[in-house]
Chains A and B, each alone.
Chain A
């Protein structure tokens, strides 16, 4: 057993790139030892999305299809990984009996997250999309820190461009709408974040809009 395990191990030095955003992925990983950070890298900056520790699984979308990686994975410390491919997957399942349950959990969560993103994109007008995307990002923060929704001001680490990307609205239009919100005192725009100043107001607006959309649908 020691022999086979060795074959699927991959070691990385701190700072080494494990895979890059945009390249097609064919394998996924579990961290045996060390830490891995997941980032979005542009020419000028690196935005860290998450730092994963021992036992975490990442790159799992590759088991679905040869989809491009959606972020870059970099070894945060010296790291030892187990690499799963289509070929060795079943073989490794017997060594890691908890793996299936972990993958089922990850995919289930992903499905709900993706459905939530879809519900933003399906809204008809751009203002609703933006407000709902902001609410979605607050919900994501609240999953880790439930008390956040009671704060007077909630900071979301998102740029104007990124928020536009969540909704499928171009940067110019996003900017114009967000500045309207800022003028109305609903948000503050910072270079790399947006501060929500009246969450309940946004919640009320969306409830009203969704109710309206629903009754419109039903009358058709």
Chain B
């Protein structure tokens, strides 16, 4: 059974770096979560009834990321991971809401990552797919070579190398019949 705990105003639920494994749900009251952002800036969030904290870290098996200060007398429910999983099994809407929040977190981090990786981002994804097809072609795995090139055409219909790929496809189809491994012009 999840444990229900009372916290007095100005007390601390846990500190950043704490390895504790529970997931916290606010039943009554308010807390202030303080964590460090991408650029060492302090992020403050006030949470109230119905909101979870300490969730990601518990589930992923990492220490807590934030220090949680109680700013109003609060009643907080502490779930073990197992208890939490049971909760979302019987309340899928709670799980869906959390999933959405996690997705948007991850998307924000992904954006930041892309921004920092400007110089080394993939050249041309279409071109990379053509090369993947060549990998299978070289292994004489014609089925997968064709599969990848057809997908390429489907997803990049305006790519400049469509004519070459069409030629590849024809030659490979021929090879499937004759058994002769053709030479492809690059």
Contact = CB atoms under 8 A, between A and B. Distances in A.
A129 to B, nearest CB: 10
A24 interface: yes
A107 interface: yes
Interface string B25-64: 0000000000000111000000000000001110110100
A109 B59 CA distance: 8
Interface residues of B, number: 49
A100 B38 contact: no
Interface residues of A, number: 49
Contact of B56 (A16, A94, A100, A108): A108
| Most chain B beta carbons < 10 A, residue from A93, A104, A118, A169 | A104
Contacts of B105: 111
A105 B122 CA distance: 29
Contacts of A21: 128-129, 132
Contacts of B141: 15
A151 B113 CA distance: 32
Nearest to A13: B143
Given A100-B96, A101-B85, A108 B60 contact: yes
Contact of A17 (B99, B103, B126, B147): B147
Given A22-B128, A41-B132, A170-B120, A104 B95 contact: yes
Interface in B145-160: 147-148, 151-152, 155
B177 to A, nearest CB: 20
B98 interface: yes
Interface stretch (A61-69, A78-86, A189-197): A61-69
B43 to A, nearest CB: 13
Given A17-B148, A98-B89, A45 B135 contact: yes
Contacts of A110: 106
B78 interface: no
Given A104-B59, A107-B106, A217-B40, A170 B119 contact: yes
Q: Which 10 A-B pairs have the closest CB atoms?
A: A100-B95, A22-B125, A108-B60, A107-B102, A43-B131, A121-B116, A108-B56, A101-B85, A108-B59, A114-B109
Given A21-B128, A68-B125, A108-B60, 11 more contacts: A22-B128, A94-B92, A97-B89, A104-B98, A105-B60, A107-B106, A111-B102, A111-B105, A112-B60, A118-B38, A168-B117
Interface of B: 38-40, 55-57, 59-60, 62, 85, 88-89, 92, 95-96, 98-99, 102-103, 105-107, 109-110, 112-113, 116-120, 122, 125-126, 128-129, 131-132, 134-135, 138, 141, 143-144, 147-148, 151-152, 155
Interface of A: 15-17, 20-24, 41-46, 63-65, 67-68, 72, 74, 93-94, 97-98, 100-101, 103-105, 107-112, 114-115, 117-118, 121-122, 164-165, 168-170, 214, 217
